[in-house]
Structure 1
């Protein structure tokens, strides 16, 4: 079963001249990965190539085919995978050869598309600002009156009645006498009657 990795190592001349070894016979990639050519006892010429169908060859590419690996040195070979251009798995092989092709090791490569990314609106991570609107005393009074079923027109008439009463009281206090008091009582009676008719 392929193992999902971003790198694979091939040991060159670890046991003897013209030998190649890897502990990963299969690799699963969702993007570009690296091939490490790890030199050991003696230097060697190494050839790398990719095998697969036309689609695999279009998606997967190797940086270069030929490398000279010094003893106890390591060379990293980039393997490019354009996984964003595929919508399903692709299978091929990565082959490493030495000794003029007399020795080779093959690694099965399965390329899978990268997981789809989900764009998250940053506004979701911010706490929602609470909109608090200060109401004037008049607005608060109108809101309370609406809650108990009083119409704005009724409230306006009541305000005019209170104003008329205020004017009547101040006039009666200023003029004085029985005529002023009678006029005040007429105003009070008119306002009371008008309010009673509106509220009924």
Structure 2
């Protein structure tokens, strides 16, 4: 049976009983998976403590975080069985055993794990072109023409803006201090440009 879920009925009809949903006898089930799956414990008339364990080679590549569960009447308890996909190169066989009544009642699920491709979640953003495939920005086009690094071009543009602001300030204030400030900004931009080019 190829599935990602196994359901076990706990105390259906009488206390300390376990019944696999998929089998008429309720004793044994064969499960074939290629990735993690879920054991569902369905509680019925009376509460029970249920223990879950992995046997055989399955215990080498799979794990259950919490092996002990309290299942109340009407409760549905999900037990994730995590399979490490890197550990599956060939068929791996083992058993998932579910016990109750201090081990007096048990059912076994024979599990075969087949190697499968890793599951990849794909969302709508994958359909959108990445920035590398889109049109280059103006700065990137200018950089490809002048063969100057885009970062250097951006610093040069910032320097020109600084000189323009200093020029407008000096023209507005019309004082010797503003003129000295303009010269200092212009010299700073020229020195920075020379350092970037080298």
TM-score by length of 2: 0.55
1:21 match: 19
Q: Give the alignment partner of residue 70 of structure 1, picking from 69, 72, 77.
A: 72
Give the SS at the match of 2:60: helix
> 1:59, 1:81 within 8 Å by CA — same for their partners in 2?
yes
1:52 aligns with 2:56: yes
1:61 aligns with 2:63: yes
> 2:9, 2:21 within 8 Å by CA — same for their partners in 1?
no
Offset of residue 15 of structure 1: 1.6
C-alpha separation between the residues in 1 aligned to 2:118 and 2:33? 15
Could you list the per-position Cα deviations for residues 44-77 of structure 1 after superposition, in whole angstroms to 9, with x for gaps in the alignment? 0100000113xx3221111211000010111100
Q: Give the alignment partner of residue 116 of structure 2, picking from 95, 114, 117.
A: 114
Give the SS at the match of 1:58: helix
2:34 match: 30
2:46 match: 42
Offset of residue 23 of structure 1: 2.9
Offset of residue 116 of structure 1: 7.0
1:12 aligns with 2:10: yes
Q: Post-superposition, which runs of at least 4 consecutive aligned residues in structure 1 deviate over 6 A?
A: none
C-alpha separation between the residues in 2 aligned to 1:28 and 1:14? 26
2:85 match: 83
Q: Which consecutive residues of structure 1, in runs of 5 or more, have no partner in the other structure?
A: 123-200
Structure number with larger C-alpha Rg: 1
> 1:84, 1:114 within 8 Å by CA — same for their partners in 2?
no
Q: Structure 1 residues 83, 116: CA separation in 2 closer, same or farther (over 3 Å shift)?
A: closer
TM-score by length of 1: 0.54
Offset of residue 82 of structure 1: 1.4
- Matched residue count: 115
Give the aligned CA root-mean-square deviation in angstroms.
1.9
Q: Which consecutive residues of structure 2, in runs of 5 or more, have no partner in the other structure?
A: 23-28, 120-126, 128-198
